[in-house]
Amino acid sequence: MRLYLCEKPSQGRDIARVLGCHEKQEGALKGHREIVTWGFGHLLALADPDEYHESLEQWSLDDLPILPSPWKMVVGEGKAKQVKVIARWLKQANEVVIATDADREGEVIARELLAFLGYQGPVQRLWLSSLDEASVRKALTHLKPDQETWPLYQAGLARSRSDWLLGMNLTRLCTLIGRLRGYQSVLSVGRVQTPTLRLVVERDLAIAQFVSAPFYQVKALVHPASPFVMQWQVPEDASDEQGRCLSKARAQAVLSRCQSQMGEVIEAQTKRVKAKHPALFYLGSLQKAMSSRYGYSAKAVLDGAQALYETHKLTTYPRTDCAFLPCTQQGDIAAIFDALHTHSDWKEWVSMADPTIKSACWNDKKVAQSSHHAIVPTPKSGDLSRLSPIERDLYQAIVQRYLAQFYPVAEDDATSVVLACMGERFKASGKIEQVKGWRVIMKDNDRDKAEDKEEQSLPMLTAGMTIAMTQLEVVDKKTSPPSHYTEGTLLDAMANIARSDAVPRQFKAILKETAGLGTEATRADVIESLKNRGFIETKGKTLLSSASGQAFIAALPNEISSPIMTALWEQGLDSIEKGQGTLDAFMHQQTQFVSTLVEKMKNGTIKLNLPKIEQPTMPCPVCKKTMRLIHGKSQFWACEDKDVCGLILDHVRGNVVKHQSCSCGQGVLIRRSGKKKGGHYWGCSAWKKGCQLRYFDNKGKVGERIAEKAPMTSKEGVS
C-alpha cells in the first residue's frame, strides 16, 4: 500500500479526490491501493529543556548553556491521536509519498514524523505548487526521488535546532539577568526577531535624533507659449553629498543673475522608452503592495493568500520568493483565461488580453533557483462572494498582475532639456504616454498614480534655441528624516538586509547572496511576534518600537542583535539545501557560537546593560498580597503568592480586567472569553478550590447564573 502523507486535512482531501480515495477512515481517506493521511502542521516539536532533565524546569544561570545531545522530539499538545493514526497506517505501508507543502518546513513536517515513528521503507516526494485537480494530476506523474529533497530536511533541522539553541539559552540568560534589574517579564531573544527589532529601533532613533537642515532650489517657469518648469542644477562646489544647495545667498545670486535673461538650449532630446510589464507577485512583494495600498499586515496577507490557495483553490502556492513562471505553464494560459472570463469584473480585461504575448515572466532558469514559481491564478472559477474583503483584494491584485503579462509593453516619449544661462544650467524632463499597453488594467496601481502626478508635458525644442527666463523663484526646502517603517517596508528591509546601515561594508557583498533576515514564509510571523511581545506597536500603517523594545536593544550586545549573524546563518542553511554543507558541521559552529556567547555574558565580558526599573504593583483583590504587571506574549497581572492564591488578571489599556467579589468568599468573579452567551462569561478565580460558579455576561456586568456546573479546566482558569 502506498501512503500519502499530507500537511493538513484540506490538502489531504484535495489529493485524495484525484487519487480516488473516498473511503473515510480515522484521520485518513482510503482508496484501492492508496491511503491519504495528514498532520495538522507540525505534529512534533523539539523538546523543552526539562524533557532532558527535570531540574531544567527551573531557570538558573548555572545550567546554561543547555546543549542537547541527542536531540529529542515530543508530540505536540492535542496531536497524539493523529500521530497514533499515522503510526498505524505506516505499519501497513510499503511506500510513502511525502505530500506536504513543497518547501523546507513541509519537508521537516513529514520527515521528522517518519523518523520519530521509525519508518524505514522507500520514500518519494509529491511536489505541488497548486492544489487544483490538473496540477495534482500532473505532479502525481512526476514524483521526485527521496534523495532529491533530503537536503531540504537537513536544512530545516539545522534551522530549528540552531533557533532552539539561541532562543532557549539567550532568552533564559537575558531574563535571569533582567530580573536582577527589576524586569519580571520574559526577555525573548530570537535569531531573526531580535535583529528585526533592531532595524525598527534604529530607524525610530534616527528619526527622533534627526535635525532638519534647510536647502534651496531655484525653479524657472519658462516658454510663455507652452510654459514648463526647469530646475537649477547645483554645481559641485555649491552642493552637499546629495546635490543640494545649502546656501540661500548662492541660490539668490543665481536668481538675480538669470532673471529676465535669455537662456540657450544646449541639449534637447526625445526618445521612446518602454515600460516593461510589472513583475508577478511573490509573497514579499504581495505583502509590501497590500501594506502600501490597504494597510494590511504581513500576517493578514499571508493568511489571506494561504486561504486563496488552500481553501478556495484560486491561486497557486503563496510562500514563494520567485517572481517568474516556468515555460511549461504556458499551456495553462487558455484554461486560466476561461476561468477568469466567467467573472464580470475581469471579462473585459481577459477579452483584450493576447495569450501570444510573452513577457519576461517566463523564465525557466529563474524558477530553477527557487522551490516555487510566482503567485498566479489557477484554472478554477470560484464563487467570489465566498471571499473575505482581504481575500478579494488579494485575488484582484494577483489577477491584475497575471493578465498584465498578456498586454503590450507600455511606451512613453521621454523628453529631456538642458538650458544654459549666465554660466548656470537648468534642466527639465517630461514624459508623454504614447502606448498605454499593460497600464490599461493597472489603473488602480498606487505607484502609477504617483508617477502620473510628477510628469509634465514639454514643447518641441531644439539645441540652439533661446528662451526668456522670465519667472524665477528660490524655493525654501528642508531635509526630511527617514520614514517610519510600515510592515511592507520592514519586510523589504528584512529581505534586503545588505542595504542596511547596520551592516558593515565588508559584509554587504556577502549578504547580497543570502536570503536576508528570515524567509518569505516566516517574516510575517516574526513581525507578529514582536507586536505580541510588546516590542513594537502599530499606529495606522506605521510600525513603532516601544520603550521596552528600545531599552532591550540598547542593552543587548551586538553579537545578538546584529543582522549579520542571522543572515550568515541563512547562507549556511542555503548551502545545506544545495548539498554543499552538512547538518553536523553547521550545528558544530552554532553550538560553539552560543556556548561562547553565554559564557562571556555570564562572566561579564559581554554585559547586558539593562536600566533598573520598578514594575507597577497593586493589591490582590483576593488575598491582599502584591500583584505585579507581567510582560509576556501579552500583559497580565499576577499575584506573588503563586501556590495558594495564584490569581491572574488581564491587563487592558493600562487597567486590570473587570472583577467582582464572588459569593463563595474565596475568590473574585472575572470576566473571561468563552463560548457562553455573547462569547464572554463570569467565572470565579477560586475554581482550583472547588468553586464552580459561573454567570452569563450581561454587557460587561454579571448576569444570571449558568445552570451547568462543569468543572473549569486550568486553561480556563488563566484569563
* Positions marked catalytic: 317
Q: What is the CA radius of gyration of the chain?
A: 31
Asked if residue 129 lies in contact with residue 9, where contact means CB atoms within 8 angstroms, the answer is no
> d(Cα 548, Cα 542) in Å, to the nearest integer?
18
Half-sphere exposure of 288 (CA within 13 A, CB side): 16
Q: State whether the Cα torsion 181-184-189-193 is positive or negative.
A: negative
Residue 22's identity, in one-letter code, is H
Query: Cell 505530500, residue?
Result: 99
Nearest by Cα to 698 from 664, 719, 669, 661: 669
3-class DSSP state of 77: coil
> d(Cα 645, Cα 40) in Å, to the nearest integer?
37
> d(Cα 437, Cα 419) in Å, to the nearest integer?
33
Nearest by Cα to 540 from 712, 294, 251: 294
Query: Cell 510513502, residue?
Result: 96
- DSSP code of residue 331: G
3-class DSSP state of 492: helix
> d(Cα 644, Cα 623) in Å, to the nearest integer?
9
Q: Give the three cell numbers for residue 74.
A: 515530543
> d(Cα 565, Cα 678) in Å, to the nearest integer?
48
Pairing of strands 44-46, 73-75: antiparallel
Peptide bond into 616 cis (omega under 30): no
User: Mapped to the 3 state alphabet, what secondary structure does 145-169 carry?
Assistant: EHHHHHHHHHHHHHHHHHHHHHHHH
